[in-house]
């Protein structure tokens, strides 16, 4: 219950400052640009949203750390963390509250892309079940990006440091399944290691989701990544809240 009070405050503060508007606007513009110019939405001649979802990992890579970087860094810088942590709420409740608030905004941005969905339905007859599944998948993935970014925001008082760290760590999670990384491992490691590294990648797990397959293993992967990074946040904040 108290998590929700925290979440409501966070959510409000995103809209009291222009952060939420800027995030949503940039997300909409960029996802549009990616879909139509880089994804060849029209030239493909298929009524689906694959070119739209395909670029999401790369959009989140920069946009999610940007919206999450202030979560803890600003609390530390302004000293409000002292106020927050001496209120009768546990660190876990606070972490969950902050996550929920930010995740709702990411979801809101996704909701605002529905005109694209309507357009596809106008142009042809896509499988709407696939699109719903892909929306759920991308929202789950954004949660994983968010958990990583919020956790790293707790590491430093500086939002810039938090942003750079988050982008780097998210980048590792995104590319670990790409050929560059896999090739680097293939030469010396056995298959088990290569498979393990590849299985850490957001891309590997999101690929199927973008095509509308919500496999239990992929869902579980994103939920687990999110949960473990949130848990890490709790530990980090308890350790260094006073620094």
Straight-line distance from the first to the last Cα atom of the chain, in angstroms, rounded to the nearest whole number: 29
The verdict on 157 binding other proteins (CB under 8 A) reads: no
Q: Tell me which of 26, 28, 30, 85 binds other proteins, using CB under 8 A.
A: 85
The verdict on 87 binding other proteins (CB under 8 A) reads: yes
Mask for 224-243, x = binds other proteins (CB under 8 A): -----------------xx-
- Of 8-16, 169-177, 196-204, 212-220, which segment contacts other proteins by CB under 8 A? 8-16
Q: Which of 203, 98, 110 lies closest to 154, judged by CA?
A: 98
What span, in angstroms and rounded, lies between the C-alpha atoms of 174 and 200? 8
Q: Tell me which of 90, 114, 121, 199 binds other proteins, using CB under 8 A.
A: 90
Judge contact between 82 and 225, C-beta under 8 A. Answer: no
What span, in angstroms and rounded, lies between the C-alpha atoms of 219 and 34? 25
Per-residue CA distances from 2 to 89, 101, 160, 174 (Å): 7, 13, 29, 33
Closer by beta carbon to other proteins, 181 or else 237: 237
The verdict on 17 binding other proteins (CB under 8 A) reads: yes
Given the rule CB under 8 A, which residues bind other proteins? Answer: 2, 5-6, 8-9, 12-13, 16-17, 78-80, 82-83, 85-90, 241-242
């Amino acid at each position: 219950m108290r998590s929700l009070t925290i979440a409501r405050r966070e959510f409000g503060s995103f809209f009291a400052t222009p952060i939420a508007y800027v995030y949503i606007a940039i997300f909409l513009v960029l996802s549009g640009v990616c879909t139509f110019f880089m994804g060849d939405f029209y030239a493909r001649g298929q009524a689906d949203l694959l070119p739209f979802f395909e670029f999401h990992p790369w959009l989140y890579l920069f946009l999610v750390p940007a919206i999450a970087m202030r979560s803890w860094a600003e609390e530390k810088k302004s000293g409000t963390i002292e106020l927050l942590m001496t209120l009768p709420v546990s660190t876990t409740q606070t972490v969950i509250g902050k996550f929920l608030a930010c995740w709702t905004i990411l979801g809101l941005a996704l909701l605002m892309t529905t005109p694209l969905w309507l357009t596809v339905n106008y142009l042809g007859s896509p499988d709407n079940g696939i699109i719903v599944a892909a929306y759920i998948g991308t929202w789950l993935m954004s949660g994983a990006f968010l958990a990583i970014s919020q956790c790293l925001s707790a590491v430093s008082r500086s939002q810039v440091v938090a942003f750079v760290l988050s982008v780097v760590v998210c980048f590792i999670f995104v590319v670990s399944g790409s050929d560059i990384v896999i090739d680097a491992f293939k030469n010396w490691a056995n298959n088990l290691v290569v498979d393990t590294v590849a299985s850490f990648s957001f891309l590997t797990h999101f690929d199927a989701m973008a095509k509308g397959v919500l496999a239990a293993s992929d869902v579980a992967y994103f939920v687990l990544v999110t949960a473990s990074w949130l848990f890490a946040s709790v530990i980090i904040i308890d350790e260094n809240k006073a620094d």
